[in-house]
Amino acid sequence: VQLQASGGGSVQAGASLTLSCRLSGHTFGALAVAWFRRPAGKEREFVAAISNQAVSIKYADSVKGRFTISRENALNTAYLQMTDLRPEDTGLYHCASDYTFGVFPDQYNYWGKGTLVTVSS
């Protein structure tokens, strides 16, 4: 299983970005997908997760109302739409996938390389 995250960039506060996570090597529709981020000098933290058929979705409190996770199983791709970005959203964003759906990194065995999001004030 390979995951490829893309879409990061440097933006001003209040801007929007959409991250993409493309999976190959497995049946995408069988797997849950989550986004985690690691701010500089801090621990990795949960951002959002979506179950394999998008029935269940969870968000970190810090991003509720601003971020939207979605998926297109036909394209083997999940998305994280981020609006009203804040400096505290800055970090390396990773997508992860596995059969389980949850908010903890240990629940996911498949990880992609991150894509960097930098939000300046």
Looking at 29-74, list the stretches that DSSP marks H as alpha helix, in order from N- to C-terminal side. Answer: none
User: Shortest CA distance to 78 belongs to which of 120, 109, 47?
Assistant: 47
pLDDT, tens digit, for every residue of 36-60?
999 989 999 999 999 999 999 999 9
Token output for 9: 């960039």
pLDDT for 81 equals 98
How far is Cα 86 from Cα 114, in angstroms, rounded to an integer? 19
Query: What kind and span of H or E run contains 81?
Result: strand 77-82
Residue 105 predicted with pLDDT over 90: yes
Average pLDDT over residues 17-42: 95
How far is Cα 30 from Cα 100, in angstroms, rounded to an integer? 10
